[in-house]
Structure 1
Amino acid sequence: MQTQQNKFDLIIIGGGPIGIACALEAKKKNLSYLILEKGCLVNSLYHYPTNMTFFSTSEKLELDNIPFISNNPKPGKREALEYYRRIATNNRININLFEKVTKVSSDSGDYHKVTTGKAEYISDNVIVATGFYDIPNYLEVPGEDLPKVSHYYNDPHYYATQKTLVVGASNSAVDAALEIYRKGGDVTMIVRKPEIGERVKYWVRPDIINRIEEGSIKAYFNSSLKEIRDTEVVIDTPEGEDVLDNDFVLLLTGYRPNFEFLKNMGIDLSEDGRKIPEYNEDTMETNVPGIFLAGVICGGVETHKWFIENSRIHAKLIMDHISSKTKVS
């Protein structure tokens, strides 16, 4: 049953930094809003590796010109959690945590019905700011479901003295390989391309290259993982198949947005393999009237194109458009 308390000008799906930025802008426009977040506050950030350092400097991560003071030019995970938590609590952001959105329907044409595991809401507008960290890019190789395999990395201590295979050459893979090596792990990397990725953080890339060249970290380039077994892995290399003793496998091959969730809302995705959602770059409104996108989800599978630093502006674009519609109506 719908109640007045369940009606909003705007519902924001996702309580990450960009979702919070949208809420701050909604408050400025005197719009009633609610953030629905399936996990804890800034849930994806909370699940990042313990020692993660941002690529961006602290001022690039600021919301609404609220200063982000950090001990170093590039802040770490714990500082970011503190910063965004303070913003949410001090500004009394209206947010329901641990409430997952299961469906958004727009059958009436006048409003959207948002269904969660706990309640139903109706809203004139919906912003999808769900990021991409929840769904790994699976390799679909035999043994990928073994207990020793993970698509997420947290802390290097767990892998101390163990033979750990890291698959990938992005920032997450490189950070994991270096940290585990420095905590006494025996690290081997499998890299699909001929070298470490160019988008790896510029202060980290020389470090991993040097560790590989000196033999501290073993690396197989132009190679791929073929099979995971209980105590070993099988890899394809330019020289042929190789079998390595192994204790743990970290498949850090990236993540992707929940495209099915978007399609079920009626949002069109590009058919060129990039799966970029259809939206107006001036307003961030999708092909479904009243449904907007904000943050990294705008990039489809190209998750490296949007991040906090360059997508904070989405909040203002959306709220300017919604408030102009509200005034006209």
Structure 2
Amino acid sequence: MLKTDAIIIGAGPCGLSAAIHLQRIGLDVLLIEKGSIVNSIHRYPTHQTFFSSSMKLSIGNIPFITAKDKPQRNDALVYYRTVAELEQLTINSDETVLSVEKTNNVFHLRTDKAEYEAPYVVAATGYYDQPNRLEAVGADLPHVHHYFKEAHPYFQKNVVVIGGKNSAVDAALELERAGANVTVVYRGSSYSPSVKPWILPGFESLVNNGKIRMIFQASVDEITSESVRIRSGAGIDVIPSDAVFAMIGYHPDYNLLGSMGIQLEQDSGCPIFNEETMETSVEGLYIAGVIAAGNNANSIFIENGRHHGEAIAYSISEKMKAKC
């Protein structure tokens, strides 16, 4: 049984930020990550460019310097690895937390590799590993994907992209550039206001010129190995497809959060917590990052979630002073 001062579940940018601030108040901190450091960013498309400037993605007051104002995926991977080295963070990667229980003011964590004890726990698990399920026949076929990595393998192939927000538009653009025949199916009646404004005009131009087929107010009925059957205002349409990308969003791991004793709002899926301290109704158990937003993943990003660590560190330092 390993004992430490604080355990952070998840080594994404917000988890790393929390670890840095907790170490700076004198705590021994362990991060447990089921994948690799900043695993969600690692799983981004290889071409991914961030919405924000590098300054807004920096953590721990360590500058994130890039040649361009908006960094790309690989810039971020290098930066966060460097931060972890500079701050000498202890990260157990490729280790999955199975349970978290609190007994006598101490949290007991069991993973697939070991057991741990700590008086403080921070859940910074993000949401990218939990894709929303596509409710359609054939949604589990092997050529249906919830993540888009790169377009090259789909040259001269028929590809259907389901969704109409940033991830779907990004995937459709890259696929068209690589020579794929792209159809985008979206349940909305018009382009989503969340689509990055600097890419929407180019996407619209491709649609207007017949380079990408865009179908609004459409739902997927069935996916087969060769086609996608959709239903829209124009009726039933069967679209040939060699691959399907269901870019319809992601959600937090509600099972894990619930097993910890974290209460969730039924409609929004938001954990119930103190917004000033990030502490949940379970004393000593905190949350950080996008999981604080519940189902509305568009309200918390690295840019604002990185500050959760400061609030958590202040809260814990006040608790420690009160015990002295």
* TM-score of the pair, normalised by structure 1: 0.97
Corresponding residue SS for 1:256 = coil
Aligned to 1:230: 225
Matched, 1:95 2:91: yes
What residue is the counterpart of 2:66 in the other structure?
70
SS at match of 2:171: helix
1:112–1:126 Cα contact (<8 Å) kept: yes
Deviations 1:93-152 (A, max 9, x none): 11111111110001x241100111111100001000010001111112111111111111
Partner Cα distance (2:140, 2:286) in 1: 36
> Residue 16 of structure 2: which of 2, 20, 31 is its match?
20
Residue 292, structure 1, aligned to residue 280, structure 2: no
Structure 2's unaligned 5+ residue stretches are none
Match of 2:220, SS state, is: strand
Q: Which residue of 2 aligns with 1:118?
A: 113
Match of 1:324 in 2: 318
SS of the equivalent of 1:114 reads: strand
SS at match of 2:117: strand
Whole-angstrom distance in 1 between the partners of 2:299 and 2:171: 22
Percentage identity across paired residues of the two chains: 42
SS of the counterpart of 2:59? Answer: coil
Q: Hey, what's the Cα distance between the residues in 2 that align with 1:51 and 1:205?
A: 17
Structure 1: where are the runs of 5+ without partners? Answer: none
Tell me the distance in 2 between the aligned counterparts of 1:156 and 1:72: 24
The one of 239, 259, 265 aligned to 1:264:
259
Offset at residue 212 of structure 1 (A): 0.8
Tell me by how many angstroms 1:246 deviates.
Answer: 1.2
Question: 1:55 corresponds to which residue?
Answer: 51
Identify the residue that residue 246 of structure 1 maps to in structure 2: 241
Shift of 1:312: 1.3
**How big is the shift at 1:215?**
1.0
Tell me if 1:134 matches 2:123: no
- Distance in 1 between the 2:81 and 2:189 partners? 41
- Correspondence for 1:33 among 7, 29, 33: 29
What SS does the corresponding residue of 1:211 show, helix, strand or coil?
Answer: helix
Matched, 1:174 2:169: yes
Give, in whole Å, the separation in 2 of the partners of 1:174 and 1:109: 50
**How far apart in 2 are the matches of 1:209 and 1:186?**
16
User: How big is each residue's C-alpha offset from its partner over 1:69-107, in whole Å with a ceiling of 9 and x where there is no partner?
Assistant: 11211100000000000011122111111111110001x
State whether residues 196 and 209 of structure 1, in contact with CA within 8 Å, keep that contact through their aligned partners in structure 2: no
- Answer yes or no: is the 8 Å Cα contact 1:129–1:295 preserved in 2: yes
Residue 186 of structure 2: aligned partner: 191
For residues 214-249 of structure 1, what are the alpha-carbon distances to aligned partners after superposition, in whole Å with 9 as ceiling and x for unaligned? 111001101111100111110001011111111110
RMSD, aligned CA: 0.8
What SS does the corresponding residue of 2:110 show, helix, strand or coil?
Answer: strand
